[in-house]
Structure 1
Amino acid sequence: MSGHDVPAEPDAGPHDAGQGEYPVEWEADVVLRDGSTTHVRPIRPSDAPALQRFHMGQSERSTYLRFFANIERLSDRDLARFTVVDHDERVALVAVKRVGEDAREDIIGVARFDKVTPHEAEVAFNIADAEQGRGLGSVLLEHLAVAARERGVRRFSAEVLPQNGKMLAVFQEAGYATSQHVDDGIVAVSVDLDPTERSRAVMADREHRAEARSMHGLLTARRVLLVGPGPTAEPGTASRLMAERVLANASTDPGDGTFDVVGVAPPAGFGDLAAEPAEGGAEGRAEGDTAPAPSAVRFFGRIADVPGPVDLALLALPPREAIAATAELERLGVRAVVVLSAGYAETGPEGLALRRELLRTAHAAGMRVVGPATYGLFTTHVEHRLNASLAEALPPAGSIGIFCQSAPTAVTLLATALRRGIGVSSFVSAGHRADVSGNDLMQFWQDDPETSVVCLYLESIGNPRKFSRIARRLASVKPVVVVTAGRSGQVVPPGHAVRSTRAPRRTLDEMLRQSGVIHAENTHHLVDIAQLLAYQPLPGGRRIGLLTSSAALTALVAEAVGSAGLVVSDRSGFVAEDADDAEVEAAVEAIFAPDACDVVVAVHVPTVRPRGEAFSRAVARAAAASGRTTVASVLGMHGLAEELSAPDPANPDGPPVHVPAYSTPEDAVAAVEAVVGYARWREADHGTVERPTGVDSDGARALVEAALVGDTVVDLDAQDVARLLAAYGIELWPSRRVRTADEAVAAAQDIGWPVALKSTAESLRHRADLGGVRLDIGDEDELRDDVEQMRQTLAAVLPGACSTGTGDDEQGDSDGPAPFEVQRMADAGVACVVRSTEDQLFGPVVSFGLAGDAVDLLGDVSYGVPPLTDVDVATMVRSIRAAPRLFGYMGAPVADTAALEDLLARVSLMADELPELRSVEIYPVVVAERGAAVLGARVQVAGAQRADTLRRALPG
């Protein structure tokens, strides 16, 4: 599969392209269509032997499609031309994998471009015959397109033979705007590299399928290999204890596959194998192979003795030994390694280097990595049950998928699920999350028929933008409940190599809200929510029917319902403690009557009599029969109880319907509040990400790139700010910097009366209370008076802010910045401020609020993480507490919120497309009855630092 790239003629001139600075940031580990991994990086001169092997390994057909000729061997000149590039005018990326005992790198795919103009480049691809069909061509196109955009290229062109259908399909299926025509029997293809909604959707869909497939291979492992610390390890060490715990689990609950062990002796009484552990590997295990221990566990002396294939490997080894073992596992076809031991990034720079070496070793061999410091994983699927965890006892089978980073928290979560009797479909502890993350598991759970609720405990979020888009997609079909380590999500525990953030603490909340994720307060709250979602239908509204055992309880629970923003149904009531069965049934029937409420909260706390079963069983039967969302708080019950379950009339032979029980009524109401909010989000229209008209992205990028000075933060001048905003269809009202009253009058006459006079001093901008702003100046005399008064006022407030002039026609001081600014007055309206900040963790964060000190002091600001839909933008405008001022508060005119939302959408697009925009402030924006006037703006640019780009890549 290739484009056209003609080898150099034998008499061509000497190769004169120098090797530019190696762009290490283009290196990436990727997941392919089959769930395996490979490494993509820029080509190096030292790759010449590997490129020759790659070329000679291709079929004649592939070589012909690539070069339009059959070339058996590349000449030395061709090898130099193909491998020595400047990474600017000429760029080449290779996909490599490690092979052989010497761990050499072999090339399995090449993608390259050569600029023909500053904004167009010829592109060519070549994928190894044995690797075709795994999606490598589309991955290389994505990565090459990102590199090209960074080098100013906006269009790819290629010449392709008509019979090269695979190459044409890569271009056509990429989602970019593509055109092609046939000329002299050659298909000329042109690809516009500007991202489109379709190209983003294509990338997300391919990413979803690949990562889900990768996790499917992890969680459906049949053959598991444990590699332990060996018999010489000190008793009581962490590695040895972990290996012994896994082995104990395997012997009692091996799952449906086989469990092989290296380096760990079988415990006493472990079947026939305990007396004679394998010393010589497979040869010494012939008898054991035919008559294995009852637990289907086999023992080997070395990894080299283990017969393949093996699906999953568990490593209870120190870091260097784990890396060496990972390299050995490649020949067994292992899909993933689960690293139980710690000792990596949490120990410092050397440990971080070890973590990177572990990842590189695993990814080059096509494996994913779970951990380090993981608590393991398990699944309860009927068809592929697996226990590869450190848990002493597992919860029952169920429909809740749990992802947890922290091993200690994993202990708590699993113990809670076991104690409450709630079922888990699969569980993965990622430990320090070097590779496999919550994003990967969400991709898998979206399509997993055994999982209906997704729960994640996150100590850190390595790529919030990717998390947001995956979670939003998943939450549209299955609820996602998240607990973060700290409400801000800014906690970085030891061992988590993630970027720091300076984003406001509310940014995470806004990101989760946009994504439809339920943000639980703590693990207790998470399990409370999960058991409701797993065992009850989503509520159809927010009317809460209360059924309690006393009037006092009804009043107390009603208060909790009101505080949660829910509504108490007028059908609510109570059942006296001494009520007979008929009275209980009547009360239950009333609260479950059609249209009586949307959710039933049943509370039963007897004060004198022993608790009977009549109340609980009546509620359970009514809940099963009606399909009404129901929760209970009954003395002595927590989680799932037989007393609060009943057969499903619609499926008598199926599992019973459970009404989840809570320790307190407040816990029950808190869970209902979260689930009602999710149900409303799921039913709502979330809008679309629309591209506003009149946008010149190429012009904006050229302007920004011209202003960059490496990583130095640069303030754009007023002209460049106006040009940048204009490229996104935003008009910045002109203003004039002046020093004297004469200059101010001339500026006003040119701009048009009435005008505003402002101080240019940083600390006095927009500060009318300090005399820094004078508005609605209608004539020359008034302007001259205001200039003099402002000069005197500001001289007292901020000495030096204004120069001292002389005479009637003040000339002022010609040195230094002009102290005043004159601008035409906008129509009366509501003053607002729109900002965007590029955070190295979250990416662009857009904020909106009304102007004024009070708003800043009270933090009355809304946030959004682009890309934003039209509904997201409308929500930002309406979610601040001061929003009524935009909608006719106290008889004021209604502001043009449509114009304001259009401005926010344009700023969102600009921030999303230009990661070099370190900060943008548009202030003030005066929103009148018609239109929104942008009166001031400041922009800072610096080198891009965004973690999430338009390419698929694993954590580095």
Structure 2
Amino acid sequence: MTHRRETVAEAHALLADGTTARIRAAGARDHDAVVGFYEEMSPENLRLRFFGVSRRSARRAADRMCGRDHPGHLGLLAEVEGRLVGVAEYERTPDTDLAEIALAVGDAWHHRGVGTILIEHLVSAARVDGITAFTADALAENHEMLKVFADLGLRTARRFDGPEVHCTVQLAEEAGYAVAVAERGRAADVLSLVPLLRPRSVAVVGAGRKPGSVGRAVLRNLSTGGYTGRVYVVHPQAAAILGVHAVSSVAALPTVPDLVVVAVPAPGVAAVAAECGKAGVRALLVVTAGLDAAQGAELLETCRAHGTRLVGPNSLGLANAEDTVRMDATFAAAHPSPGTAGVAVQSGGVGIALLGGLTRLGIGVSSFVSLGDKYDVSGNDLLQWWESDGRTDLALLHLESFGNPRAFSRTARRVTRRMPLLTVDAGRTEAGRRAAASHTAAAATRTMTRQALFTQAGITATRTVPELLDTAALLHSQPLPAGHRVAVVTNAGGAGVLAADACAEAGLAVPELRTDLVDELLSVLPPGAVATNPVDATAAVSEQQLSTCLDKLMATGAVDAVLVALVPTAVSAATGDDLVRALTHAPGRSGTRTLAAVLLDQAKPVRLLPAGTGRVPAYADPQAAARALVHAVRRAAWLARPPGTVPALADTDPVRARSVVERYLAEHEDGGWLDPRACAELLDCYRIPQLPWAWAETEDEAVLAAERLKGPDDRTVLKAYWPGLLHKTQQHAVLLDLRGDAQVRAGWRDLETRFAGLLTGAVVQPLARRGIELFTGVVQDAVFGPLVLFGLGGTATEVLADHAARLAPLTDHDVHDLITAPRCAPLLFGHGGEGPVDLEALEQLLLRVSAMASDLPQLAEADLNPVIAWPGGVTALDVRVRLVPARAADPYLRRLR
């Protein structure tokens, strides 16, 4: 056991009303503050807490909370702006895995989530301590306390005994608890952002008197953008700026503004933040750039101390285009148009490009936030805001980093069920793969990790900003296609071929149309038309003929989308504009099938054409249209699939696995690679199938092991081992196909001779049966968590790079995706005549590797290569595991970054 006071990290978390609280362990220095906390309580509150009114009880409670520092006890304090507002503690019942808890909340802080957040942090610490349940006694009339326990989301039992109620709260992880914590976090997060995104008043600090300053540009946009609230200016000398009356300090403002925009030089930012905090300002937007590490740390510490939400520093600004707000607190050149697209970026330049592109498309924004250096408010916060604002139906993100990817993933999975979430996959081009000893680590690039996150969360990830805008245009204006079948219609055969090729290369199908549909199309098109797909309507097609052709295609179930490629000609009476009208005039057409256009004469990369009941996206080249269609098809497929579940594995032994890890790290404090025996023991804790093996340290032991393990064909494998050996094949440290005692002895002597001074033993195994060589493994990413990889194995793993990855814990859908994603997947399903491998056993293998990675944060790398799969099962032939000292982080614990 560890001293919980030493290991529980201080955290800041949002209360139910959006207030920021500091949660930390109680210590001896807090004794007087705890006594004072109880002394300020009303007699009624004291009676409910101690079952009677006694000041001595309060002092004894403070003695217990602040004077004990031993395993099985933890006291936590909740503070708001330095004031103690709640206390909670648990103490283990001797010789049990139960702990009794106590909780008290200040009179003025009831119904604000103080008790709930304290208990959540106690739950997280207690689970690490091995405590399985909390017990608590309360008066039956203490309805508020009983409601706190009932609403936690954990299984709670009550037993009434006269005027008292004995409660038992089970701490076992349950999906309901995670959902309840997430919902509490979402509600608190949204409330904390109200002063930021719907402020009733805004003050600008640092608006210069001369044109050219960033603060002045923000003030100008606030003043001219139709903002419905009050605008103030703080300037030490000016009487007014841009017609707005100025005061000398934040304290001199007539009212406390909800939001303050800070545009002073970097050395003065923290001082302005402190002044704002003391005045009671709830939100800061820092557009100042260039803060050094010390200045940045002081800024964040100041905001945390005063419970102030912070956007930036180095931010372009933020805007809310809702009619009731109309706030433009950016220094962009133009005001954003009101609409329903939420936009969050880290790069101001990307933000300007997105705002300009959306304006050109006629897609307005609901809110825009330039996160800048992202000290506090993050993309995850904005997702939760857009989910709740009642306006946003399209979300666009450009994130260069993730503060809490697991929380982001959980939120994104929920939000993308309601609206498209698009992002640019920034930072794809690494100079090279990181140096790593295992095949798994070499394969697990940051790009692969990000792509796994995007895929699992249902996020539409594009490669460039133009591609993001192309896709946004389609998703914003058209229904999702039911499948990937596309009909191409053109008035120029060459343009149709280009469009069909672009679709096929993007992964879409361009199927040949049915004979009856071909005949029906030809009956309405000019002579010489071809209607097999692509449909070449010829240059002579009229507006009416093209419109009728589209109506018939859109009405049929033969395709899921129609792509129209048009080139203006002077052959018929119909001009280019006439043909464009054929795409858009029919009311209701776009509500049945997805329709997009390629207008090859257009200089604009994408635009939205007005239609009868919506709009039709028109692209300047077929590749852009095809890419947008593919993203729409993938989103439709993701929405059609129900959310996956993480299957329960009843026969794993994580307690024993943790003991293996702790035993190794106790002897190797810096971590390292496990020896073969420890690797095998760890895999056995998760029932991961392994080829039978034995450990030998002498020639005779090797012979005896070979005799015991040999298969029907009497063939044995010797694998040399010494600390630091990783790539045995490259070192020629594996001897295959040894038959009989003589060859085993000769093989042993060969290893002893070649690796004299290194060899510490060898693994003896029977020669594995034939099958498909695969590999799976885990890399523990410091930011994203454990990443599970799977693909073609053997010595060519890195050369062929045929693998896929998903973040753990894996759901049943994730496992299916891992198995089907690599190029070698057809082999697993029987391509080539060998019959399908044991897919159920392969799924179990991946789930067990995922469970091992999720349970053990110390697992830095695990490499199972090769894994042999055949119709009768799967088995790992070789395993490597690297451990590092690490502490488990509760992925559901509510805390600010």
Q: Same fold (TM over 0.5)?
A: yes
**2:387 matched to which residue of 1?**
446
Give the superposition deviation at 1:713. Answer: 0.7
Give the superposition deviation at 1:455. Answer: 0.6
**2:10 matched to which residue of 1?**
27
2:867 alignment partner, SS class: strand
Write the deviation string for residues 891-938 of structure 1: whole angstroms up to 9, x where unpaired: 214211101111211221221122122222334433332333344434
Write the deviation string for residues 254-273 of structure 1: whole angstroms up to 9, x where unpaired: 42222122118889995xxx
CA contact 1:617–1:645 (8 Å) conserved in 2: no
Give the superposition deviation at 1:428. Answer: 0.6
Write the deviation string for residues 499-550 of structure 1: whole angstroms up to 9, x where unpaired: xx97553121122111111111111111111121112221222121222231
**2:439 matched to which residue of 1?**
none
**1:219 matched to which residue of 2?**
197
CA contact 1:840–1:946 (8 Å) conserved in 2: no
C-alpha separation in 1, matches of 2:768 and 2:786: 29
In structure 2, the CA distance between the partners of 1:794 and 1:751, relative to structure 1 (3 Å rule), is closer
**2:32 matched to which residue of 1?**
49
Write the deviation string for residues 797-827 of structure 1: whole angstroms up to 9, x where unpaired: x44389xxxxxxxxxxxxx512x32235665
In structure 2, the CA distance between the partners of 1:28 and 1:611, relative to structure 1 (3 Å rule), is farther
CA contact 1:638–1:660 (8 Å) conserved in 2: no
In structure 2, the CA distance between the partners of 1:155 and 1:703, relative to structure 1 (3 Å rule), is farther
Paired residue type of 1:682? L
In structure 2, the CA distance between the partners of 1:449 and 1:577, relative to structure 1 (3 Å rule), is farther
Structure 2 segments unaligned to the other structure (5+ residues): 433-442, 514-532
Give the superposition deviation at 1:748. Answer: 3.8
1:401 alignment partner, SS class: strand
In structure 2, the CA distance between the partners of 1:194 and 1:919, relative to structure 1 (3 Å rule), is farther
**1:629 matched to which residue of 2?**
594
2:223 to 233, 244, 251: 251
Give the superposition deviation at 1:439. Answer: 0.7
**2:705 matched to which residue of 1?**
747
C-alpha separation in 2, matches of 1:269 and 1:697: 65
Write the deviation string for residues 872-904 of structure 1: whole angstroms up to 9, x where unpaired: 012112211122232223221421110111121
CA contact 1:623–1:629 (8 Å) conserved in 2: no
CA contact 1:311–1:334 (8 Å) conserved in 2: yes
Task: Work out whether 1:668 is the aligned partner of 2:640.
Answer: no
Write the deviation string for residues 714-763 of structure 1: whole angstroms up to 9, x where unpaired: 44455544443333333545522224553234224444644632222365
C-alpha separation in 2, matches of 1:716 and 1:53: 53
CA contact 1:489–1:508 (8 Å) conserved in 2: no
Paired residue type of 1:108? V
Give the superposition deviation at 1:599. Answer: 1.6
Paired residue type of 2:846? L
2:390 alignment partner, SS class: coil
1:584 alignment partner, SS class: helix
**1:7 matched to which residue of 2?**
none
Give the superposition deviation at 1:182. Answer: 3.8
CA contact 2:4–2:125 (8 Å) conserved in 1: no
CA contact 2:14–2:21 (8 Å) conserved in 1: yes
2:269 alignment partner, SS class: helix
C-alpha separation in 1, matches of 2:727 and 2:607: 65
CA contact 2:319–2:368 (8 Å) conserved in 1: yes
2:619 alignment partner, SS class: coil
2:45 to 50, 62, 67: 62
2:335 alignment partner, SS class: coil
Give the superposition deviation at 1:372. Answer: 0.4
Give the superposition deviation at 1:36. Answer: 2.5
Give the superposition deviation at 1:26. Answer: 1.1
C-alpha separation in 1, matches of 2:604 and 2:406: 37
Give the superposition deviation at 1:690. Answer: 1.8
Count of residue pairs brought into register by the alignment: 856
Bigger CA drift: 133-142 or 580-589? Answer: 580-589
C-alpha separation in 1, matches of 2:415 and 2:893: 20
1:921-936 aligned at under 5 Å gives the runs: 921-936=863-878
CA contact 2:222–2:327 (8 Å) conserved in 1: no
1:559 alignment partner, SS class: helix
C-alpha separation in 1, matches of 2:342 and 2:501: 33
C-alpha separation in 2, matches of 1:411 and 1:25: 42
Give the superposition deviation at 1:683. Answer: 0.9
Task: Work out whether 1:760 is the aligned partner of 2:720.
Answer: yes
CA contact 1:420–1:638 (8 Å) conserved in 2: no
1:622 alignment partner, SS class: coil
**1:210 matched to which residue of 2?**
188
Paired residue type of 2:264? L
Task: Work out whether 1:599 is the aligned partner of 2:576.
Answer: no
Task: Work out whether 1:122 is the aligned partner of 2:100.
Answer: yes
C-alpha separation in 2, matches of 1:750 and 1:636: 76
Give the superposition deviation at 1:838. Answer: 1.4
C-alpha separation in 2, matches of 1:25 and 1:229: 43
1:514-663 aligned at under 5 Å gives the runs: 514-569=456-511, 570=513, 571-606=533-568, 612-622=576-586, 624-627=588-591, 628-634=593-599, 635-636=601-602, 638=604, 644-648=609-613, 657-663=614-620
CA contact 1:399–1:534 (8 Å) conserved in 2: no
C-alpha separation in 2, matches of 1:702 and 1:124: 31
Structure 1 segments unaligned to the other structure (5+ residues): 1-18, 99-104, 275-296, 345-350, 492-500, 649-656, 803-815
1:856 alignment partner, SS class: helix
2:414 to 470, 473, 481: 473
Q: What RMSD, in angstroms, separates the aligned Cα atoms of the two structures?
A: 3.2
C-alpha separation in 2, matches of 1:921 and 1:269: 64
1:66 alignment partner, SS class: helix
**1:800 matched to which residue of 2?**
756
Give the superposition deviation at 1:846. Answer: 1.2
2:213 to 241, 258, 278: 241
CA contact 2:225–2:326 (8 Å) conserved in 1: no
1:385 to 326, 337, 342: 326
**1:336 matched to which residue of 2?**
283
C-alpha separation in 2, matches of 1:661 and 1:266: 51
Write the deviation string for residues 420-465 of structure 1: whole angstroms up to 9, x where unpaired: 3322221111000111111111111123331111110112122222
1:453-532 aligned at under 5 Å gives the runs: 453-487=394-428, 503-532=445-474
C-alpha separation in 1, matches of 2:147 and 2:654: 27
1:184-203 aligned at under 5 Å gives the runs: 185-203=163-181
In structure 2, the CA distance between the partners of 1:327 and 1:771, relative to structure 1 (3 Å rule), is closer
Give the superposition deviation at 1:703. Answer: 4.0
In structure 2, the CA distance between the partners of 1:113 and 1:646, relative to structure 1 (3 Å rule), is same
C-alpha separation in 2, matches of 1:304 and 1:268: 17
1:691 alignment partner, SS class: coil
Task: Work out whether 1:299 is the aligned partner of 2:246.
Answer: yes
Give the superposition deviation at 1:88. Answer: 4.1
C-alpha separation in 2, matches of 1:78 and 1:687: 46
1:91-102 aligned at under 5 Å gives the runs: 91-98=74-81
Give the superposition deviation at 1:865. Answer: 0.5
Give the superposition deviation at 1:622. Answer: 3.3
C-alpha separation in 2, matches of 1:892 and 1:770: 31
Bigger CA drift: 450-459 or 916-925? Answer: 916-925
Percentage identity across paired residues of the two chains: 34
Give the superposition deviation at 1:607. Answer: 5.5
Task: Work out whether 1:687 is the aligned partner of 2:630.
Answer: no
Write the deviation string for residues 596-649 of structure 1: whole angstroms up to 9, x where unpaired: 53222222232568954211111012374341222223233647868x21332x
**1:496 matched to which residue of 2?**
none
1:403 alignment partner, SS class: strand
1:273-312 aligned at under 5 Å gives the runs: 274=243, 298-312=245-259
**1:278 matched to which residue of 2?**
none
Paired residue type of 1:242? V
**1:353 matched to which residue of 2?**
294
Task: Work out whether 1:153 is the aligned partner of 2:131.
Answer: yes
Give the superposition deviation at 1:696. Answer: 3.1
Paired residue type of 2:597? A
C-alpha separation in 2, matches of 1:772 and 1:667: 51
**2:760 matched to which residue of 1?**
817
Give the superposition deviation at 1:392. Answer: 2.2
In structure 2, the CA distance between the partners of 1:756 and 1:179, relative to structure 1 (3 Å rule), is farther
In structure 2, the CA distance between the partners of 1:764 and 1:466, relative to structure 1 (3 Å rule), is closer
C-alpha separation in 2, matches of 1:96 and 1:309: 22
Paired residue type of 2:693? S
Paired residue type of 2:213? L
